[in-house]
Amino acid sequence: MKDRTLHEWFAESAARHGDAVALEVGGRTLTYRQLDRTADRIAGEVLRRCAGRPRRIGLYASRSVAAYAGYLAALRLGAAVVPLNPSFPVARNERIVRCAALDAVIAQEADPGLPAPVVEVDPARPAEESPGAAPPRPSPRPGPREAAYILFTSGSTGTPKGVPVSHRNVDAYLRYVVPRYGLGPGARVTQNFELTFDLSVFDLFATWGSGAALVVPSRGELLSPARFVTERGITHWFSVPSAVSVALRLGRLGENSMPRLRWGLFCGEQLTVEQAEAWRRAAPAAIVENLYGPTELTLSCAGFRLPADRRAWPDTSNRTVPVGEIHPELEALVVGEDGRPAPTGELCVRGPQRFGGYLDPADNRGRFLTLDGDRTAVWERDAPPPDAAWYRTGDLVRDEDGCLVHLGRLDHQVKVQGYRVELGEIEAVLRGHEAVAEAIVVAVREGDGPVVLHAVCTGAEEAGDALHTLLRSRLPQHMIPRSIAFWPQLPLNSNGKVDRNAIRTELADE
């Protein structure tokens, strides 16, 4: 079966379901035909601004017609989409523009201050009133191994890492999830994730690839999921698990408040049993599934579907819903400290959803495993790994009664609001201030609530305000520590290394 490009997934639905609703956002409703026409007009304007057909296009837009039509326009031209978040600091977006070598940026504002040609799209203007060049001629079809999109994740060295995901990777993913979740005409799917978050690709293209409708909540509506689901006739909900905790704290997730919801899908963080129970009470007819997977393995590579009977739910050691089964076309390997397969260890995965390597080949070093007899060998080359190599997720898992359970990380990476955060990137920014000698950032979970970041530094305590300003200028909001404390010295463990556990414990007790 021939691989489909990401745009072909949309185009085939547009051809079959032209008059069906494709998008509801900001009080506007667009059919597949209207959304396709809008994307074509934007694509024509991009070509008018560029000397040739662009290879990579940035998307500086959020929760607007400009964002969704702009995404399709870039794909229509055969370019890789590089989402940029307007709420992120300018310096971070500028760095991504340069790292990705963008040929153009589609934006919903005139001058976002980015170092690339900008094509402004008025998100309030209907497609039929939009001026611009005629729709472009069909673009050369990108190859299956060419990037469909490039996302930048937090990097431990202080620089975000570019993750190119190919059309082949996404095609393999969509072929599995579209039938698995019963998507098709009549389904109404949430669009909860920002476009810089890889899970947004499920929202957009599992929906548009099946002829379903994409329904975009405002940020206020995200705080009241039950009301949004009921009033907008949502059939498929997809979010991070912490959205359940927020709604519970606000008293907005009552029993049987979503009686018609069919699916509740969660990914990006560990899903606790308590969160799953709360969602089941609110949506008793919905199937609840926990999804798992890093950006490098194309959104999700495993899932666990909770049985309808609560008594049949697995009783895991850490009260989280299991990772579940790896997708059928993928292979998983749990590797112990000795490099051999083990019941507890690092989860490694390979197959058609595994990306081909980082944008900067130097980032590939140490992130893949190859087989060497009955042991694995670490890939230590600044080059793309072979298809047979396993991607090292960095996640610690254990087989409990036939189910893989996520136990945590093997490094200093954490999930905050579903975003992957390398604590080392925050520490690098703090250490870059002349008043800071040492800096450690730890993640502390507040009871059953969200993960909260705290920083501890040594140096000049009076620099506290300046550090907050520095962080806000360099990092997105979800990466900024709630507190910055100055200690005379950092505690050390028996090996002479900074004792992160001691810092975490002391902060949790405060």
139/181: higher pLDDT: 181
Question: In the predicted model, is pLDDT for residue 497 greater than 80?
Answer: no
386 plus 338 within the same structural domain: yes
CATH of the domain at 376: 2.30.38.10
Q: Whole-angstrom Cα distance, residue 60 to residue 112? A: 8
The amino acid present at 84, given as its one-letter code, is: L
Burial bucket for residue 131 (CB in 10 Å: 0-12, 13-18, 19+): exposed
Q: For 262-277, what is each residue's pLDDT tens digit?
A: 999 999 989 999 999 9
Question: In the predicted model, is pLDDT for residue 432 greater than 90?
Answer: no
pLDDT band at 158; cut points 50, 70, 90: low
Six-digit token pair at 103? 């040929």
In a domain, 194, yes or no: no
**pLDDT (mean) for 352-374:** 93
Question: In the predicted model, is pLDDT for residue 133 greater than 80?
Answer: no
442 plus 341 within the same structural domain: no
Question: In the predicted model, is pLDDT for residue 137 greater than 70?
Answer: no
55 plus 95 within the same structural domain: yes
Q: Which of 166, 183, 209 is the last residue of a domain?
A: 166
**pLDDT (mean) for 172-186:** 98
422 plus 354 within the same structural domain: no
CA 424 to chain centre: 19
Q: Which of 340, 375, 409 is the last residue of a domain?
A: 409
Question: In the predicted model, is pLDDT for residue 128 greater than 60?
Answer: no
In a domain, 68, yes or no: yes
Q: Whole-angstrom Cα distance, residue 465 to residue 192? A: 33
Q: Please choose, from the candidates 6, 150, 169, the residue with its C-alpha nearest in 3D space to the C-alpha of residue 73.
A: 6
Helix residue spans in 20-134 (DSSP H) = 32-49, 65-76, 90-100
In a domain, 55, yes or no: yes
Supply the Cα-derived Rg of the chain in whole angstroms.
23
In a domain, 367, yes or no: yes
CATH of the domain at 5: 3.40.50.12780
51/98: higher pLDDT: 98
Q: Which of 117, 137, 166 is the last residue of a domain?
A: 166
Mean pLDDT across the chain: 91
Looking at residue 279, what is its pLDDT? 97
pLDDT band at 124; cut points 50, 70, 90: low
Whether 262 and 235 have beta carbons less than 8 Å apart is answered as yes
Q: Whole-angstrom Cα distance, residue 103 to residue 113? A: 15
Q: Which of 16-25, 63-72, 341-350, 498-507 has the lowest mean pLDDT?
A: 498-507
Whether 301 and 327 have beta carbons less than 8 Å apart is answered as yes
Question: In the predicted model, is pLDDT for residue 132 greater than 60?
Answer: no
41 plus 137 within the same structural domain: yes
In a domain, 195, yes or no: no
Q: Whole-angstrom Cα distance, residue 491 to residue 505? A: 12
Number of domains, the chain: 3
Q: Whole-angstrom Cα distance, residue 321 to residue 467? A: 38
399 plus 418 within the same structural domain: no
Question: In the predicted model, is pLDDT for residue 16 greater than 80?
Answer: yes
Torsion of CA 18, 21, 23, 27, to 10 degrees: 130
pLDDT band at 448; cut points 50, 70, 90: low
Pairing of strands 325-326, 161-166: unpaired
Q: For 449-478, what is each residue's pLDDT tens digit?
A: 678 899 998 888 777 788 889 999 989 998
Question: In the predicted model, is pLDDT for residue 501 greater than 70?
Answer: yes
338 plus 454 within the same structural domain: no
497 plus 422 within the same structural domain: yes
Q: What percent of the chain has pLDDT over 90?
A: 66
pLDDT band at 338; cut points 50, 70, 90: confident
This prediction has a pTM of 0.88
If you write DSSP's letter for every residue of 444-457 in order, what string do you get? Answer: EE-TTS-EEEEEEE
The amino acid present at 443, given as its one-letter code, is: A
In a domain, 261, yes or no: no
Q: Whole-angstrom Cα distance, residue 213 to residue 190? A: 9
In a domain, 286, yes or no: no
Q: Please choose, from the candidates 145, 57, 140, 67, the residue with its C-alpha nearest in 3D space to the C-alpha of residue 101.
A: 57
* Domain containing residue 446: 413-509
**pLDDT (mean) for 88-92:** 91
Looking at residue 375, what is its pLDDT? 81
Which of 343-360 are b and which e, b meaning 16 or more Cβ less than 10 Å from the residue's Cβ? eebbbbbbbbbbbbbbbe
In a domain, 360, yes or no: yes
Beta-bridge partners for 21: 31
370 plus 462 within the same structural domain: no
4 plus 110 within the same structural domain: yes
Element (H, E) at 393: strand 390-400
Q: Whole-angstrom Cα distance, residue 484 to residue 492? A: 19
CATH of the domain at 448: 3.30.300.30
Looking at residue 50, what is its pLDDT? 86
Six-digit token pair at 252? 């907005």
359 plus 417 within the same structural domain: no
472 plus 421 within the same structural domain: yes
